[in-house]
Structure formats: structure tokens, C-alpha cells
């Protein structure tokens, strides 16, 4: 199951996100993934802005439950 980078929209396998709680929160808050975090804002194009916005809101509700977030995104066809 995937979750999206909220900055560029790149899907990432939730099981690969071996991040600390703080790193995960930064990722979900829109700071970027390894694909886009080194680029300036004007060079990043989000391929799925609506899905990224929805994921950000779901992440705030679900907190640390990354698997739940990925499952919810997949259930609603947002990935």
C-alpha cells in the first residue's frame, strides 16, 4: 500500500517509510520526499494535488497510523 508525498505526489510504499515519528510528521506535513526535497518549490510539480490534500487531512486525523492512512487512501482510490 502506498502513501503520497504531499509535496510532489510521488507514491511511496508505506512499509518502506522507516522513519522516526518526527521524520514521518515532516514528510506528511509536506516537507517532501527524497525525490523532491532537494528541489526548490518552483521546480516541484505535484502530480496529485487533490489526493495530497486529502492525505494531509487524513494524516492529521489518523496520527501515527501509517498503515491505516495507506489503506484509507487505497480504499477511496486516491493512490
DSSP string, 7-71: TT--EEEGGG----HHHHHHIIIII--TTTTTS-GGG---S-HHHHHHHHHHHHHHTT-HHHHHH
State residue 79's pLDDT score: 75
Question: For the chain, how far is it from start to end, CA to CA, in angstroms?
Answer: 9
> Which position has the grid cell 502530480?
47
Contact 55, 3 (CB under 8 A): yes
Single pTM value for the model = 0.67
Nearest to 58 by CA among 46, 70, 45, 69: 69
Please write the tens of the pLDDT for every residue from 13-72.
776 666 677 777 777 777 777 777 777 877 878 877 888 888 888 888 888 788 888 888
Residue-range domain boundaries for the chain: 2-75
State residue 76's pLDDT score: 84
Amino acid at each position: 500500500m502506498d502513501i503520497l508525498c504531499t509535496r510532489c505526489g510521488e507514491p511511496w510504499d508505506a512499509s518502506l517509510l522507516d522513519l522516526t515519528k518526527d521524520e514521518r510528521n515532516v514528510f506528511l506535513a509536506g516537507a517532501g520526499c527524497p525525490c523532491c526535497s532537494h528541489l526548490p518549490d518552483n521546480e516541484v510539480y505535484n502530480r496529485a494535488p487533490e489526493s495530497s490534500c486529502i492525505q494531509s487531512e487524513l494524516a492529521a486525523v489518523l496520527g501515527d497510523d501509517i498503515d491505516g492512512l495507506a489503506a484509507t487512501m487505497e480504499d477511496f482510490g486516491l493512490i
